[in-house]
Chain A
Amino acid sequence: DIQLTQSPSSLSASVGDRVTITCRASQGIGRWVAWYQQKPEQAPKFLIYSASDLQSGVPSRFSGSGSGTDFTLTISSLHPEDFATYYCQQYNSYPITFGQGTRLEIK
């Protein structure tokens, strides 16, 4: 199975900050990465696919990049509603796997 390791596991930031979350794969996975946002007691929300393509309706302050083994999710200017847990997901090969999550908290 492909392992995904996110860093940091938790992050404190303020409204207006720029933040970057990293996802590293245990082997090359091309650009087959998606990103999700999850708030407590809610289902994950789909943000990005193919490493950098923004899902329709997702604010442009979210962006993704990377290929091979290293990927990033960047939020250019944090809004209050962005404080949540973020997961990367690989779909290069079965089984589909997720990173352990990055919890983004208000400083």
Chain B
Amino acid sequence: QVQLVQSGAEVKRPGASVRVSCTASGFSLSSHTIHWLRQAPGQRPEWMGWINGDNGKTKYSENFQDRVTISRDTYASTVYMDLSSLQSDDTAVYYCARDSIYLWLWFDNWGQGTSVTVSS
């Protein structure tokens, strides 16, 4: 069945960077777009960006433009999200989510979430 399995929880100091991975199974990464979203405690989800699983093209939210990088390893069926210059308000659960390669821009399958805590 379709699964997106994310890496484990992270605790980071302010100013550090974090990498979260998302490994796909049950479908071909090259036939889909993968998005990253985050959800701070008690808040609505916030969209961060996407990567085309076929050609690696990316698009980022302007809210994260200079701090986020999304990449992929097609052989490992894995997508990565790097977020730099972390601050306390980056504390959130980070999700990867699947979209069509045609960019319908809705998310039919989600990873289990990765908790990222930023604290000194």
A contacts, CB < 8 Å to B: 32, 34, 36, 43-46, 49, 55, 87, 89, 91, 94-101
- Taking a contact as CB atoms closer than 8 A, the residue among A43, A49, A100 that contacts B106 in the complex is A49
Contact A98 B46 (CB under 8 A): yes
**A99→B47 CA distance, assembly (Å):** 12
Which B residues are in CB contact (< 8 Å) with A98? 44-47
* 4 smallest beta-carbon distances between A and B, as pairs: A91-B105, A43-B110, A96-B47, A34-B106
Quick one: which of B46, B62, B97, B106 has the most chain A CB within 10 A?
A: B106
Q: Which residue of B lies closest to A48 (CB)?
A: B106
Contact A43 B105 (CB under 8 A): no
Contacts A/B (CB < 8 Å), 27 sampled: A34-B107, A36-B107, A43-B110, A43-B111, A43-B112, A44-B95, A44-B107, A44-B110, A45-B110, A46-B106, A46-B109, A46-B110, A49-B104, A49-B106, A55-B108, A87-B45, A91-B104, A94-B59, A94-B61, A95-B47, A95-B61, A95-B63, A97-B47, A98-B46, A98-B47, A99-B44, A101-B44
Seed contacts A49-B106, A91-B104, A98-B46; 10 additional CB < 8 Å A-B pairs: A43-B111, A43-B113, A44-B45, A44-B107, A45-B110, A87-B44, A91-B106, A95-B47, A100-B44, A101-B44
Which A residues are in CB contact (< 8 Å) with B105? 32, 91, 96
B11 to chain A, nearest CB (A): 18
Count residues of chain B with CB under 8 A from any CB of chain A.
20
B contacts, CB < 8 Å to A: 44-47, 59, 61-63, 95, 97, 104-113
A57 to chain B, nearest CB (A): 10
Interface of A is mostly: loop
Q: Which residue of B lies closest to A53 (CB)?
A: B106
A47 to chain B, nearest CB (A): 10
**A55→B104 CA distance, assembly (Å):** 13
Q: Which residue of A lies closest to B48 (CB)?
A: A95
**A52→B107 CA distance, assembly (Å):** 15
A73 to chain B, nearest CB (A): 14
